[in-house]
Chain A
Amino acid sequence: NTKPPRVFPRDSARSPEPGPTATPPMPSTSSSSSSSSQAQKKPAKRTEAQIQQKVNELVQFLLVKDQKKLPIRRADMVKTILQDYKDLASVIIERAGRILEEVFGLQLREIDQKYHAYILINKLERLEGDGMKMDESVAKMGLLMVILSLIFMKGNSARESLVWDVLKKLRVDPEKRHKTFGDVKKLVKDEFVRQKYLEYNRVPHTEPPEYEFLWGPRAAHETSKMQVLRFVAKIQNREPSSWVSQYNEALQDETASASAAGTGN
C-alpha cells in the first residue's frame, strides 16, 4: 500500500470566498433579475438553458454553504436558488451533484432523509504534500479523531465525563481556555455536533442527567470504523486485529459500505 496512512477524517475543500465588497457592485446574473419579475406566475415552459442556469447557481450555493460544514437543507436550496423551479428540485439537485463530483471531486450526500439535509464529502483522499491549506482545522480534525476513536473503542458511545477525562490527560483541559481550540467544550459539544461529526445525547434514567457522545452522520461518511481502529492501533503499536470485537465490527462496517456504494452509484 503506497498511500500514507490516513489519520484524519477527510477535510472538505473550501469554496472560494467572494471578494469582501460591501454591496455587490457587479451586475447580478440575468436569472436572478428575471426570477424576481416572474415571481407572480410560473413560467409556462423552461428552456434547457434556464434549467442549466439554476443547476450552476445551485452548485455555487452548495459550495458556499458547505464552507461552514453545516448540513444544507433542501428547503434552503428551494428558498434561495430554486424558487419557482421548485417542482424540478430533484432533477436540479441531482444534476448539481454530478457537477460537484465531476469538477470538484466532491460528493453530495443526504444525511437526513426526513428533513432532507445534505453535506459535501471529499472523494479525494488526503496525500502528504498535497498542497491543501494547513490551518487550525487540521488540529481540530486531530482532536475529533481522538474523540471518534474513544467512542468506537468504547462500543459506539462514550460518556461525556470520560471524554473530558481523556482530553485532559492529553493536555487539552476542557475547563481551561486552550491555545489552539479556545473553548474546548464549546468546540466539542457545539461545533462538532452542529457539523454532524458527533451526537450528544442524554443518557436515559440518569439523575442528575448525564450525557454521552456518539458518532454523527458526517463522521460515518468521512471516515470509517476500520480507519479509526487503524489510528488507535498505530498509536498503541498493536495490530488492529488484537481488538477482536472492534476488528470484526470494523470488517462488517467495511463490507456493508462496499455493497451500499455498489448499489448507490
Chain B
Amino acid sequence: MLDIESQKSPKGRWPTPPFDPRFPNQNQTRNCYQNFLDYHRCVRKMNQRGKGTQPCEYYFRVFRSLCPRSWVQRWTEQIQEGTFAGKI
C-alpha cells in the first residue's frame, strides 16, 4: 500500500497534472501536499472497505508529478515510522 514501486504509472498517455482551480497561483506547495494526503486517505478508506485502490491512482500520479522526490521520500518514511504530521 505504501510502496511507491508497486504503484508505478501505467504506460499509457498520462498527460501531466491538469490545472487545478483550487490552487491557481504560483505557490503549488499545497497542491502537492493535498494530493499526497488524498492518495493515502483514499487507499486507507478503500482498504477499510475491502475494495481495490485503482481509483486512488489519479492522486498518486498527480503527487508523483508535482512533489519533489525528497519530500515524498521524507513523508513516506514518516508514515512508516508513525511520525507523519498530516491526518490520514
| Pair from one complex | no
Contact surface of A with B, Cβ cutoff 8 Å? none
